[in-house]
Amino acid sequence: MTTRRLELVRGLGAWASMAIVVGTMIGTGIFLKPAEMAREGRSVSIVFAAWIVGAILSLFGALSYAELGAMLPEAGGEYAYLRRGFGPVWGFLFGWMHSMVGRPASLSSIGAGLVRFLSFLLPVIAARSSPCTLPSQG
């Protein structure tokens, strides 16, 4: 009896991969950050320059992950790359850090964006612009 090795289906093409990267990079940030960037940058050219630099850095990161994925075609992503490159301890530490810090931080930013968007529909949940004050006891 021969045993068959199970492998992941490698079915993502160029367009699907690009859509995942673009969706991940843009996320809710494109809807939440431009106003704050314009307020802090005070110049359209500075805001555009920041977006262009961010896009170039994201492109470098995406190309690095593409190269690593081609060199090490195994499941696990960053965990697998760190385990192979630096040893199992660093892969293990990354896995725990990602579970305890990375994912919750990502989910909290998505939640904050959702509440911010919902505040337009439900003004009752909108945050006050002034700091909270305690009622006077007099």
Band of pLDDT at residue 89, cut at 50, 70 and 90: very high
Percentage of the chain modeled with pLDDT above 70 = 83
How confident is the model over 92-109, as a mean pLDDT?
A: 86
How confident is the model over 49-78, as a mean pLDDT?
A: 86
Question: What's the rounded Cα separation, in Å, for the pair 79 and 83?
Answer: 6
Mean pLDDT of the chain: 79
CA distances from 30 to 33, 38, 58, 82, 122 (A): 6, 13, 14, 30, 22
How confident is the model over 78-106, as a mean pLDDT?
A: 88
Residue 130: the pLDDT is 46
Question: What's the rounded Cα separation, in Å, for the pair 62 and 56?
Answer: 10
Confidence check: pLDDT of 1 > 80: no
How confident is the model over 61-88, as a mean pLDDT?
A: 86
Band of pLDDT at residue 27, cut at 50, 70 and 90: low
Residue 136: the pLDDT is 53
Q: What residue type is 41 in one-letter code?
A: G
Max avg pLDDT among 21-25, 27-31, 97-101: 97-101
Q: Which positions ≥6 away from 116 have C-beta within 8 Å?
A: 32
Residue pair 109/31 in contact (Cβ under 8 Å)? The answer is no
How confident is the model over 52-57, as a mean pLDDT?
A: 88
